[in-house]
Structure 1
Amino acid sequence: MPISQNLLWSASLRKWTLSFENERLEALYQLHAISSLRRHSRLALVVGAVMMMLYGLLDPLFVKPDAFVHVWYIRAMVVMLFFAVFWLSFYRHFLKYNQLFLGVVALFSGLGLLAQVSYMPVAAINFYYTGLVVMVFWTYTFSGLRFFYSTLVGILLFLVFNVMFLFLRPLPLLQVLIYDVFILSANVVGGFASYVSEKQSRELFLREKDLDNERQRQQERALHDRLTGLPNRELLLDRIEQAINFSVRNNQICAGLFIDLDRFKPINDTYGHLIGDIVLKEVATRLKYTMREADTLARLGGDEFFVLARDIGSAEAAEVLAEKLKRQFLAPIILDGLPPIRDLSASIGICVFPYRDASAVDVIRRADHAMYDAKRESRRSTSYA
């Protein structure tokens, strides 16, 4: 989806949340990122569920038989939550609520580990606590959560951990402080990695869109006349080929009108090429005013123009269009500081198609020959190929 260059140039990120200040640009980024986020988060959810199940290998060493059911019930609920969000990732609601879904999974995976530890002896804390640190890293670097939301989850898990082991199930203060050092280290390292990764992703998005715009501008330049902005010969050939194919399939009549300006060279010789260019742009404006939206006006070069009229209906209708085009030259061209230019006119050659073995090049060639026939007969005539 194209994005205006002004919007890209004015793009700025909020310092802490890393979202774009422009809401429309933020929405476009979310739409751009959702496809890769779906794939990434699905893999992360499967890996997270497997990690949670692997912690069960430690249960025979620490879980008493009377607490075994409780521990596995908690673990099963967390694993089911992983797969519930995995299932939700296939639906359109994931586009809007993906951060909420992934944040709930990350938070409850850590809370689930702490809840399991509450059924175990103090000796088990050293081992399951390591799993909590791993889940913190998973939240920051793999879950698909943005920096801001993964930081909230990390802070909440840190607070719950301290409440649990300072008040609900008190441990020696020194031991809790040692645990805190590693949890905070995991948050700092993971948070820094998440911040840098998201910032680079958003800056890359801006660069990609800027390159897309530049490619589009280059393509426009390659397919349009620089002076008038009209389609050039390359783009005209492509549109004529499309019109030929469409007219054959739908039994329609189209026409190509080759327009050559009469008495244009004296304008260049008298007033110079700069004035001649202004006159050409005025001619292009007048001709466009006469055409339908479905038609194409192209500049072939110099003082030669071409009109592709789709579904014109008949040769007579093409001639009516040619007369309308020529009437655009009746009014004088008024330029500041110069006398009115009154003697400009045009010779027009018409090629009606489709016909057997019609091609874009041949349509232009036939219309060109018809234009020269018209120019030889009269300065204001129209001829058919």
Structure 2
Amino acid sequence: MTRLHPLTLRFRDPALERAYDDDIYPRMLLQWRSALVIGPALYVLLFVLDAWYVPDAGQGALWAIRLGSLLIPIAFIYLTFTAHYRRCAYLLPALNGLTGGLGLIAMMQLMPLEVVAHYYPVVVLVTFFTYNFSGTRFVYALAVDLVLLVTYNLCFGALVDYPRHLLATQDFFIICANLIGGSAGYMVERQRRRLFVHKQALEDERRQHLDRALHDSLTGLPNRELLYDRINQLLAGAERSTAQHALYFVDLNDFKPINDAHGHAVGDQALRRVAAHLREAVRDTDTVARLGGDEFVVLVPGVPDGDNAARRAERLQAAIARRDDSLPAGISLSASVGLCLFPYPGATADEIIHRADLAMYHHKAASALPQTLTSPQAAAT
């Protein structure tokens, strides 16, 4: 299991931490906006208590603090619709909780002492809100609620007339709220991160299975399925482009005697070397695929004309014929190459490969030397 910091719960791998943030950000954005609306709305609804417990003369000061505190979440809501919010997405919800808590303590300072106990439960609610609904990270929520606890004790502990047993009782419940809310917030964030790691592992495994399913196990080249997909992509783009593409069917000459004389292990090594030489002879945008046995296909998008395509085929033959010291002495490789240019009317992946295959076999039958033959049908298009 990927290691997490025991307090901050950050991944020790910075790349994994960035991937986690990228994955969770779109889903958390809704929670952040909801918290920035619901929290301040409940904060304003405290005015219902004002009519019962606060004298009319003191309500103006309470409203000034209350409305002043609302400026923070309003600004944060606006920021959630900008690109800047991404850089401080976890910090701002924590600051929203801190602002609400400090505003509440400031209002309680202006109330008669006998009224404070009626508003004290809201401090406990702020604790749970910050840990479990604000959307901030556990470590930020912990810092906010510790600051509120210390501030609450500094403000009311300094009052000579405030009963010490009442302050101790209130501290007990605030600390309990921190333990319960903090533990829940910690476990939720930890589990969320563990599930992300598990999901990443499953996704990596899925990609590996897909990669193996679309690539030849011996050479690592794309297989027939992936080749067909890339041909079809080029055919699909033919309506939007006049570009011409080339498909080369490559067949090794006299490969069977290599297996017979040297064994299949050497034959497999020869095929791997052919695959490597073909990859070196083409561009990164080209596709070298193995259909099976000693048959390869090279797909080259965007060739200027037939002459250029023919020269590319010659380079492929030269790359295959290049001597490779990793093979036993006496082994020489050569290939016949058939070329089909496309798109043309009615072109399909099967038809394109078939035309290139026919072009290669027509030439192989006509000459013992490796040459390049362009499919007459394709050349005419």
Equivalent of 2:362, from 344, 359, 373? 373
**Which residue in 2 is equivalent to 1:4?**
none
- Establish whether residue 279 from structure 1 lines up as the match of residue 267 from structure 2: no
**Which residue in 1 is equivalent to 2:330?**
340
Q: Secondary structure of the residue that 1:260 maps to in structure 2? A: strand
Contact 2:288–2:297 (CA under 8 A) maintained in structure 1: yes
**Which residue in 2 is equivalent to 1:57?**
48
Structure 1 position 144, deviation (Å): 1.1
Moved more, 74-83 or 324-333: 324-333
Contact 1:334–1:340 (CA under 8 A) maintained in structure 2: no
Structure 1 position 360, deviation (Å): 1.1
1:302-381 residue pairs with structure 2 within 5 A? 302-335=293-326, 338-342=328-332, 344-379=333-368, 380-381=370-371
Per-residue CA distance 1:166-225 (angstroms, 9 max, x = gap): 113642211111111100000000110111111111112212222222221112111111
**Which residue in 1 is equivalent to 2:175?**
184
Structure 1 position 141, deviation (Å): 0.4
Paired amino acid for 1:67: G
**Which residue in 1 is equivalent to 2:68?**
77
Paired amino acid for 1:153: V
Per-residue CA distance 1:218-254 (angstroms, 9 max, x = gap): 1211111111111111111111122233345322221
Contact 2:339–2:374 (CA under 8 A) maintained in structure 1: yes
Paired amino acid for 2:126: M
Count residues in correspondence: 374
Which runs of 5 or more structure 2 residues have no equivalent in the other structure? 376-381
Structure 1 Cα separation of the partners of residues 10 and 285 of structure 2: 42
Equivalent of 2:144, from 140, 153, 163? 153
**Which residue in 2 is equivalent to 1:44?**
35
Per-residue CA distance 1:56-88 (angstroms, 9 max, x = gap): 111111111111100111111222322221111
Distance 1:355 1:115, change over 3 A: same
Root-mean-square deviation (CA), in Å? 1.7
Structure 1 position 142, deviation (Å): 0.4
Structure 1 position 345, deviation (Å): 1.7
Q: Secondary structure of the residue that 1:356 maps to in structure 2? A: coil
What TM-score, normalized to structure 1?
A: 0.93
Moved more, 264-273 or 248-257: 248-257
Contact 1:137–1:190 (CA under 8 A) maintained in structure 2: yes
Which runs of 5 or more structure 1 residues have no equivalent in the other structure? 1-8
Moved more, 257-266 or 215-224: 215-224
Q: Secondary structure of the residue that 2:3 maps to in structure 1? A: coil
Q: Secondary structure of the residue that 2:246 maps to in structure 1? A: strand
Identity percentage of aligned residues = 39
Distance 1:170 1:281, change over 3 A: farther
**Which residue in 2 is equivalent to 1:384?**
374
Moved more, 193-202 or 118-127: 118-127
Structure 1 position 23, deviation (Å): 2.8
Q: Secondary structure of the residue that 1:168 maps to in structure 2? A: coil
Structure 2 Cα separation of the partners of residues 224 and 203 of structure 1: 31
Per-residue CA distance 1:147-184 (angstroms, 9 max, x = gap): 11111111111111111221136422111111111000
Structure 1 Cα separation of the partners of residues 246 and 239 of structure 2: 13
Equivalent of 1:262, from 253, 267, 273? 253
Contact 2:278–2:319 (CA under 8 A) maintained in structure 1: yes
Structure 1 Cα separation of the partners of residues 235 and 52 of structure 2: 79
Q: Secondary structure of the residue that 2:321 maps to in structure 1? A: coil
**Which residue in 1 is equivalent to 2:227?**
236
Q: Secondary structure of the residue that 1:250 maps to in structure 2? A: coil
Equivalent of 1:197, from 188, 192, 195? 188
Moved more, 139-148 or 288-297: 288-297
Equivalent of 2:113, from 107, 117, 122? 122
